Amino acid sequence: MPELPDVELYLHALGPRITGQTLERVRIVSPFLLRSVTPAIGSLEGRRVLGLRRLGKRIVWALDEDLFVVIHLMIAGRFRWAGPGPRTAQGGQAPKTTLATFDFTSGTLTLTEASAKKRASLYVVHGEAALAEHDPGGLDVLTATGNAFGARLRLENRTLKRALTDPRLFSGIGNAYSDEILHEARLSPTQLTSNLTDLQVDRLFEGTRIVLRNWTARLIEETGDRFPEKVTAFRAGMAVHGKFGQGCPRCGAPVQRIQYAANECNYCAPCQTGGRLLADRGLSRLLGADWPRTLEELEDLKRR
Protein backbone atom coordinates (compact mmCIF):
# COMPACT_ATOMS: atom_id res chain seq x y z
CA MET A 1 0.00 0.00 0.00
CA PRO A 2 1.43 3.42 -0.89
CA GLU A 3 2.57 5.10 2.33
CA LEU A 4 3.59 8.65 3.17
CA PRO A 5 6.73 8.83 0.96
CA ASP A 6 4.87 7.23 -1.97
CA VAL A 7 1.85 9.51 -1.60
CA GLU A 8 4.12 12.54 -1.42
CA LEU A 9 5.83 11.30 -4.58
CA TYR A 10 2.47 11.17 -6.35
CA LEU A 11 1.60 14.66 -5.11
CA HIS A 12 4.96 15.91 -6.35
CA ALA A 13 4.30 14.40 -9.79
CA LEU A 14 0.63 15.37 -10.04
CA GLY A 15 1.10 18.96 -8.84
CA PRO A 16 2.63 20.47 -12.00
CA ARG A 17 0.46 18.27 -14.23
CA ILE A 18 -3.04 18.94 -12.92
CA THR A 19 -2.96 21.92 -10.54
CA GLY A 20 -4.60 24.84 -12.29
CA GLN A 21 -5.96 22.53 -15.00
CA THR A 22 -9.61 21.86 -15.80
CA LEU A 23 -11.02 18.39 -15.29
CA GLU A 24 -12.84 17.98 -18.59
CA ARG A 25 -14.20 14.44 -18.30
CA VAL A 26 -14.43 11.66 -15.72
CA ARG A 27 -15.03 8.06 -16.68
CA ILE A 28 -15.68 5.56 -13.89
CA VAL A 29 -14.93 2.09 -15.26
CA SER A 30 -15.26 0.00 -12.10
CA PRO A 31 -18.51 0.34 -10.13
CA PHE A 32 -16.60 -0.61 -6.97
CA LEU A 33 -14.45 2.52 -7.02
CA LEU A 34 -17.00 5.28 -6.41
CA ARG A 35 -18.18 5.21 -2.79
CA SER A 36 -20.22 8.43 -2.61
CA VAL A 37 -23.48 9.54 -4.21
CA THR A 38 -23.63 13.26 -3.62
CA PRO A 39 -22.14 15.43 -4.93
CA ALA A 40 -22.47 13.54 -8.20
CA ILE A 41 -19.26 12.49 -9.94
CA GLY A 42 -20.37 14.43 -13.01
CA SER A 43 -20.29 17.67 -11.00
CA LEU A 44 -16.49 17.54 -11.19
CA GLU A 45 -16.42 18.02 -14.94
CA GLY A 46 -15.54 21.54 -15.96
CA ARG A 47 -14.02 22.29 -12.55
CA ARG A 48 -10.48 23.55 -12.09
CA VAL A 49 -8.02 21.86 -9.72
CA LEU A 50 -6.96 24.40 -7.12
CA GLY A 51 -4.54 22.26 -5.14
CA LEU A 52 -3.52 18.86 -3.83
CA ARG A 53 -2.95 17.52 -0.34
CA ARG A 54 -2.36 14.34 1.63
CA LEU A 55 -4.83 13.03 4.19
CA GLY A 56 -3.13 10.08 5.87
CA LYS A 57 -2.55 7.69 2.96
CA ARG A 58 -5.26 9.38 0.90
CA ILE A 59 -4.72 11.79 -1.98
CA VAL A 60 -7.02 14.80 -2.07
CA TRP A 61 -7.78 17.09 -5.01
CA ALA A 62 -9.34 20.46 -4.18
CA LEU A 63 -11.51 21.82 -6.99
CA ASP A 64 -13.67 24.87 -7.66
CA GLU A 65 -16.88 25.35 -5.68
CA ASP A 66 -15.37 23.77 -2.55
CA LEU A 67 -15.43 20.27 -4.06
CA PHE A 68 -12.90 17.62 -3.03
CA VAL A 69 -11.93 14.28 -4.52
CA VAL A 70 -10.60 11.79 -1.94
CA ILE A 71 -8.73 8.80 -3.38
CA HIS A 72 -7.44 5.89 -1.33
CA LEU A 73 -5.21 3.63 -3.43
CA MET A 74 -5.24 0.79 -0.88
CA ILE A 75 -2.83 -2.06 -1.73
CA ALA A 76 -2.80 -2.22 -5.52
CA GLY A 77 -4.16 1.13 -6.71
CA ARG A 78 -1.79 3.14 -8.90
CA PHE A 79 -1.84 6.20 -11.17
CA ARG A 80 -0.74 6.36 -14.80
CA TRP A 81 -0.25 9.61 -16.72
CA ALA A 82 -0.40 10.34 -20.43
CA GLY A 83 0.30 13.79 -21.82
CA PRO A 84 -1.89 15.59 -24.37
CA GLY A 85 -2.90 13.37 -27.27
CA PRO A 86 -5.81 11.41 -28.71
CA ARG A 87 -8.43 10.61 -26.08
CA THR A 88 -10.09 7.21 -25.62
CA ALA A 89 -13.60 7.25 -27.00
CA GLN A 90 -16.42 7.06 -24.45
CA GLY A 91 -17.33 3.58 -25.58
CA GLY A 92 -13.76 2.30 -25.91
CA GLN A 93 -12.76 -0.85 -24.09
CA ALA A 94 -10.52 -0.09 -21.12
CA PRO A 95 -7.99 -2.61 -19.75
CA LYS A 96 -9.25 -4.80 -16.91
CA THR A 97 -7.02 -3.05 -14.41
CA THR A 98 -8.51 0.38 -15.18
CA LEU A 99 -10.79 1.81 -12.49
CA ALA A 100 -11.25 5.33 -13.85
CA THR A 101 -9.83 7.90 -16.24
CA PHE A 102 -9.66 11.65 -15.72
CA ASP A 103 -9.18 13.87 -18.76
CA PHE A 104 -7.55 17.19 -17.95
CA THR A 105 -6.65 19.98 -20.32
CA SER A 106 -3.02 18.90 -19.79
CA GLY A 107 -3.41 15.14 -20.27
CA THR A 108 -5.13 12.01 -18.98
CA LEU A 109 -4.72 10.44 -15.56
CA THR A 110 -5.69 6.77 -15.27
CA LEU A 111 -6.38 5.04 -11.97
CA THR A 112 -5.60 1.31 -12.06
CA GLU A 113 -5.74 -1.59 -9.63
CA ALA A 114 -3.92 -4.81 -10.48
CA SER A 115 -5.90 -7.02 -8.11
CA ALA A 116 -8.97 -9.22 -8.29
CA LYS A 117 -10.19 -7.57 -5.09
CA LYS A 118 -11.17 -3.99 -5.85
CA ARG A 119 -10.33 -2.07 -2.68
CA ALA A 120 -9.34 1.36 -3.98
CA SER A 121 -11.93 4.03 -3.30
CA LEU A 122 -12.98 7.46 -4.54
CA TYR A 123 -15.24 9.88 -2.70
CA VAL A 124 -16.54 13.26 -3.85
CA VAL A 125 -17.33 15.60 -0.94
CA HIS A 126 -18.35 19.22 -0.53
CA GLY A 127 -16.67 21.45 2.01
CA GLU A 128 -13.86 21.13 4.53
CA ALA A 129 -16.13 19.65 7.19
CA ALA A 130 -17.10 16.75 4.92
CA LEU A 131 -13.46 16.27 3.96
CA ALA A 132 -12.44 16.08 7.62
CA GLU A 133 -14.68 13.04 8.06
CA HIS A 134 -12.21 11.09 5.89
CA ASP A 135 -9.25 11.91 8.14
CA PRO A 136 -8.44 8.88 10.35
CA GLY A 137 -6.94 11.29 12.86
CA GLY A 138 -3.35 10.08 12.82
CA LEU A 139 -0.60 12.40 14.02
CA ASP A 140 1.68 13.78 11.30
CA VAL A 141 5.08 12.96 12.75
CA LEU A 142 6.88 15.30 10.37
CA THR A 143 5.16 18.35 11.87
CA ALA A 144 4.60 17.07 15.42
CA THR A 145 6.67 17.67 18.52
CA GLY A 146 8.44 14.89 20.36
CA ASN A 147 6.07 15.29 23.31
CA ALA A 148 3.01 14.93 21.08
CA PHE A 149 4.54 11.84 19.50
CA GLY A 150 5.24 10.24 22.86
CA ALA A 151 1.76 11.00 24.16
CA ARG A 152 0.14 9.49 21.07
CA LEU A 153 2.40 6.43 21.21
CA ARG A 154 1.42 5.71 24.80
CA LEU A 155 -2.33 6.14 24.37
CA GLU A 156 -2.75 2.37 24.33
CA ASN A 157 -0.50 -0.52 25.35
CA ARG A 158 0.31 -2.09 21.99
CA THR A 159 3.30 -3.48 20.15
CA LEU A 160 5.37 -0.86 18.35
CA LYS A 161 4.55 -2.40 14.97
CA ARG A 162 0.81 -2.13 15.55
CA ALA A 163 1.04 1.34 17.06
CA LEU A 164 3.04 2.81 14.18
CA THR A 165 0.73 1.34 11.53
CA ASP A 166 -2.54 2.37 13.20
CA PRO A 167 -3.88 5.26 11.05
CA ARG A 168 -5.77 6.62 14.06
CA LEU A 169 -2.47 7.09 15.89
CA PHE A 170 0.00 8.06 13.17
CA SER A 171 -0.48 9.41 9.68
CA GLY A 172 0.79 7.66 6.56
CA ILE A 173 2.85 4.81 8.07
CA GLY A 174 2.23 1.24 6.93
CA ASN A 175 3.87 -2.15 6.91
CA ALA A 176 6.93 -1.28 4.81
CA TYR A 177 8.13 1.92 6.41
CA SER A 178 7.33 0.77 9.95
CA ASP A 179 9.91 -1.99 9.41
CA GLU A 180 12.45 0.60 8.29
CA ILE A 181 11.61 2.95 11.16
CA LEU A 182 12.01 0.28 13.83
CA HIS A 183 15.32 -0.81 12.32
CA GLU A 184 16.53 2.78 12.26
CA ALA A 185 15.50 3.19 15.93
CA ARG A 186 16.97 -0.22 16.90
CA LEU A 187 13.72 -1.31 18.52
CA SER A 188 11.84 -4.60 18.43
CA PRO A 189 8.54 -4.64 16.50
CA THR A 190 6.97 -6.62 19.36
CA GLN A 191 8.09 -4.34 22.18
CA LEU A 192 5.11 -2.90 24.05
CA THR A 193 4.61 0.85 24.10
CA SER A 194 4.14 0.72 27.89
CA ASN A 195 7.69 -0.66 28.30
CA LEU A 196 9.47 2.11 26.43
CA THR A 197 11.85 4.43 28.22
CA ASP A 198 11.79 8.13 27.42
CA LEU A 199 15.10 7.68 25.60
CA GLN A 200 13.61 4.95 23.41
CA VAL A 201 10.59 7.13 22.62
CA ASP A 202 12.92 9.94 21.56
CA ARG A 203 14.90 7.50 19.42
CA LEU A 204 11.74 6.23 17.76
CA PHE A 205 10.53 9.77 17.12
CA GLU A 206 13.79 10.73 15.44
CA GLY A 207 13.95 7.43 13.54
CA THR A 208 10.45 7.95 12.18
CA ARG A 209 11.25 11.44 10.95
CA ILE A 210 14.57 10.35 9.43
CA VAL A 211 13.08 7.42 7.50
CA LEU A 212 10.02 9.30 6.19
CA ARG A 213 11.98 12.41 5.21
CA ASN A 214 14.88 10.54 3.63
CA TRP A 215 12.68 8.21 1.60
CA THR A 216 10.40 11.00 0.44
CA ALA A 217 13.41 13.02 -0.75
CA ARG A 218 15.04 9.95 -2.28
CA LEU A 219 11.97 8.91 -4.27
CA ILE A 220 11.41 12.43 -5.57
CA GLU A 221 15.08 12.78 -6.55
CA GLU A 222 15.12 9.40 -8.31
CA THR A 223 11.93 10.17 -10.25
CA GLY A 224 12.79 13.74 -11.19
CA ASP A 225 10.31 15.28 -13.62
CA ARG A 226 9.06 11.89 -14.80
CA PHE A 227 5.75 10.49 -13.63
CA PRO A 228 6.37 7.59 -11.20
CA GLU A 229 5.85 4.33 -13.07
CA LYS A 230 6.64 1.96 -10.21
CA VAL A 231 5.30 2.69 -6.76
CA THR A 232 6.05 -0.32 -4.58
CA ALA A 233 6.45 -1.35 -0.95
CA PHE A 234 9.73 -3.07 -1.84
CA ARG A 235 12.69 -0.82 -2.59
CA ALA A 236 16.23 -1.94 -3.33
CA GLY A 237 17.66 0.51 -0.83
CA MET A 238 15.54 -0.58 2.11
CA ALA A 239 17.38 -1.93 5.12
CA VAL A 240 15.10 -4.79 6.22
CA HIS A 241 11.66 -4.65 4.62
CA GLY A 242 11.41 -7.42 2.04
CA LYS A 243 15.01 -8.44 2.77
CA PHE A 244 14.43 -11.76 4.55
CA GLY A 245 17.65 -13.78 4.60
CA GLN A 246 19.77 -10.92 3.26
CA GLY A 247 22.44 -9.18 5.30
CA CYS A 248 21.52 -6.28 7.56
CA PRO A 249 23.30 -3.17 6.22
CA ARG A 250 24.31 -2.23 9.77
CA CYS A 251 25.66 -5.49 11.20
CA GLY A 252 25.55 -8.03 8.36
CA ALA A 253 23.33 -10.56 10.17
CA PRO A 254 20.56 -12.18 8.11
CA VAL A 255 17.26 -10.29 8.23
CA GLN A 256 14.47 -12.22 9.95
CA ARG A 257 10.70 -12.10 9.54
CA ILE A 258 7.44 -12.78 11.29
CA GLN A 259 4.63 -13.82 8.96
CA TYR A 260 1.04 -13.04 9.84
CA ALA A 261 -2.10 -13.00 7.67
CA ALA A 262 -1.07 -11.56 4.29
CA ASN A 263 1.79 -9.47 5.72
CA GLU A 264 5.22 -10.01 7.15
CA CYS A 265 7.35 -8.05 9.58
CA ASN A 266 11.08 -7.86 8.86
CA TYR A 267 13.73 -7.11 11.47
CA CYS A 268 17.37 -7.62 12.40
CA ALA A 269 17.81 -9.69 15.56
CA PRO A 270 21.22 -8.31 16.68
CA CYS A 271 20.21 -4.70 16.01
CA GLN A 272 16.66 -4.76 17.32
CA THR A 273 15.99 -7.63 19.72
CA GLY A 274 19.31 -8.27 21.41
CA GLY A 275 19.90 -11.27 19.15
CA ARG A 276 16.64 -12.98 20.13
CA LEU A 277 14.50 -14.49 17.36
CA LEU A 278 10.86 -13.46 17.54
CA ALA A 279 8.33 -16.28 17.40
CA ASP A 280 6.59 -16.69 14.08
CA ARG A 281 2.97 -17.53 14.87
CA GLY A 282 2.73 -20.45 12.45
CA LEU A 283 6.20 -21.96 12.65
CA SER A 284 6.65 -21.53 16.40
CA ARG A 285 3.35 -23.32 16.99
CA LEU A 286 4.53 -26.11 14.70
CA LEU A 287 8.00 -26.46 16.23
CA GLY A 288 6.97 -25.86 19.83
CA ALA A 289 9.94 -26.25 22.18
CA ASP A 290 12.24 -26.72 19.19
CA TRP A 291 11.67 -23.13 18.04
CA PRO A 292 15.13 -21.47 17.84
CA ARG A 293 15.61 -18.55 20.21
CA THR A 294 18.82 -17.13 18.72
CA LEU A 295 20.56 -16.94 15.35
CA GLU A 296 22.98 -19.60 16.54
CA GLU A 297 20.15 -22.02 17.36
CA LEU A 298 18.59 -21.23 13.97
CA GLU A 299 21.82 -22.16 12.19
CA ASP A 300 22.00 -25.39 14.21
CA LEU A 301 18.43 -26.20 13.16
CA LYS A 302 19.29 -25.63 9.51
CA ARG A 303 22.23 -28.02 9.76
CA ARG A 304 20.17 -30.89 11.16
Task: For the chain of 304 residues, list the mean pLDDT of each consecutive stretch of 10.
Answer: 96 98 97 96 98 98 98 96 73 81 97 92 98 97 98 96 97 97 97 96 98 98 95 95 97 92 88 91 46 48 40
Burial 272-284 (b: 16+ CB within 10 A, else e): bbeebbbebeeeb
Q: Say whether both 105 and 191 belong to one domain.
A: no
Q: How far is CA 29 from CA 2, 14, 63, 107, in A?
A: 22, 21, 22, 18
- pLDDT value at position 281? 56
Q: Say whether both 229 and 182 belong to one domain.
A: yes
- pLDDT value at position 285? 46
Sheet of strand 121-126: strand arrangement: 77-82, 107-113, 98-104, 22-28, 47-55, 58-63, 67-72, 121-126
- pLDDT value at position 300? 42
- pLDDT value at position 301? 36
- SS3 for 248? coil
CATH code where residue 262 lies: 1.10.8.50
Q: Say whether both 128 and 151 belong to one domain.
A: no
Task: Determine the distance from the C-alpha atom of residue 234 to the mean position of all C-alpha atoms in its chain, rounded to a whole number.
Answer: 11
Q: Say whether both 154 and 272 belong to one domain.
A: yes
Q: Say whether both 169 and 291 belong to one domain.
A: yes
Boundary-marking domain end, from 102, 132, 162: 132
Q: Say whether both 127 and 204 belong to one domain.
A: no
Other C-beta atoms lying within 10 Å of the C-beta of residue 288: 7
Strand (E) or helix (H) holding 210: helix 198-223
- pLDDT value at position 288? 44
